[in-house]
Amino acid sequence: MFGLKGDWSLEVKDRYFTLQDYCGAEPRWCTGCGDHGILAAVHRVCRDSQIRPEKTVAVSGIGCSSRLPHYMNTYGFHGLHGRALPVACGIKSRRPDLDVWVATGDGDCFSIGAAHWIHAMRYNMDLTLLVFDNGIYGLTKKQTSPTTPMDVPTNTHPSGALLPPLNPLTVTLGVTNISFVAQIVDWNAVLRHEVIKKAHEHKGTSFVRIIQRCPVYVEAIGKRLQNEPARLKLLTHEKGIQLDDGVKNMFPNRAEHDPSDLAAARALAQDEEVLPLGILYHNPDAPRYETMSSVGLEMSVDEKLAGMNEALDHFAI
């Protein structure tokens, strides 16, 4: 009874989050765009992990993919073109307690943001990096991107791209101190979810290239791969993702690949005819920069000033 002493206490249950707790504004992507499925996978992984929305940050640059923070009911930062990763690294450096997601595209990450992409991979801060790669600049209406195939006409190259497309996997696998590299297609929901889940669980920078359909400007890229499943190679291993036989049977081309084998991962990535799907490389022991950059965050202002003055005293004459 209220007002009376007693030896009982009210047990407050932990909060439980549903999918709606992570859903922000109504997505405005085109009908049939692969971005919808990727967003759904992110919502589901957040729900399954029960990470607090107020402890979650979605960061992006510019492009169709980079609208993702608007569709997350979490903290978000819609940054400048190509600058998603330095913003995300800055957040993780000062707030290592936050769960940080990065949404970027083939133009945003591999073109104007290329330098940040390479250095962020080397820093290996605890980020889940999703690259929505549709092989075109979709938001600005069909210009050639770094990953546009040479036989795909665009508004900037009506006869097709002049140079072969960039291979994001070989570039990433060539960076020092990488720790997680994976590739998926947006149209296989089970594979998509399992790889993004593993990427989120990994402590370090998880690089996930997502081959994503753009039905408005480059429908042929996704259709070609969907109609030729032999061009996709599913990577299986006890250290990789675990899929049931029903999902595995969707891929007639499969290979056992140990994701701790960097040389084998690079060999798989170099094959331009068959695209590997799953986890190519995983090294959970790679050092993470935020464990060093966040040292001293718990110090008070007085302690920081005292330390600064002590350091400056070494220069006194």
For 126-177, how does the pLDDT look when each residue is reduced to its tens digit (9 = 90+)?
999 999 999 999 999 999 999 999 999 999 999 999 999 999 999 999 999 9
Indicate the domain borders of the chain.
19-287
Q: Which of 208, 191, 211 is nearest to 199 (CA)?
A: 208
Segment 60-79 shows an average pLDDT of 96
Segment 187-204 shows an average pLDDT of 97
pLDDT of residue 13: 57
Segment 179-205 shows an average pLDDT of 97
Give the contacts of 270 (CB within 8 A, at least 6 positions apart): 167, 170
Task: Look at the domain 19-287 and name its fold.
Answer: Rossmann fold (3.40.50)
Segment 260-264 shows an average pLDDT of 98
pLDDT of residue 4: 45
Sheet order of strands, 180-185 included: 75-78, 56-60, 99-105, 127-133, 206-211, 180-185, 275-282, 232-236, 254-256
Mean pLDDT of the chain: 93
DSSP strands (E only) in the chain:
56-60, 75-78, 99-105, 127-133, 180-185, 206-211, 232-236, 254-256, 275-282
pTM of the complete model: 0.91
What count of residues does the chain have?
Answer: 317
Q: What are phi and psi of 38, to 5 degrees?
A: -65, -45
Using CA atoms, how far residue 295 sits from 91, 286, 290, in Å, is 14, 18, 8
Q: What percent of the chain has pLDDT over 90?
A: 87
pLDDT of residue 6: 47
pLDDT of residue 11: 55
Please provide the DSSP assignment of 102-122 as one string: EEEEHHHHHTTTHHHHHHHHH
Evaluate the CA torsion angle 105, 107, 111, 116 in order and state its sign. negative
Question: Residue 84 pLDDT more than 70?
Answer: yes
Cα separation of 74 and 213, whole Å?
26
**pLDDT tens for residues 3-38?**
444 445 555 557 899 999 999 999 999 999 999 999
Cα separation of 302 and 75, whole Å?
30
**pLDDT tens for residues 99-140?**
999 999 999 999 999 999 999 999 999 999 999 999 999 999
Segment 259-272 shows an average pLDDT of 96
Segment 269-289 shows an average pLDDT of 96
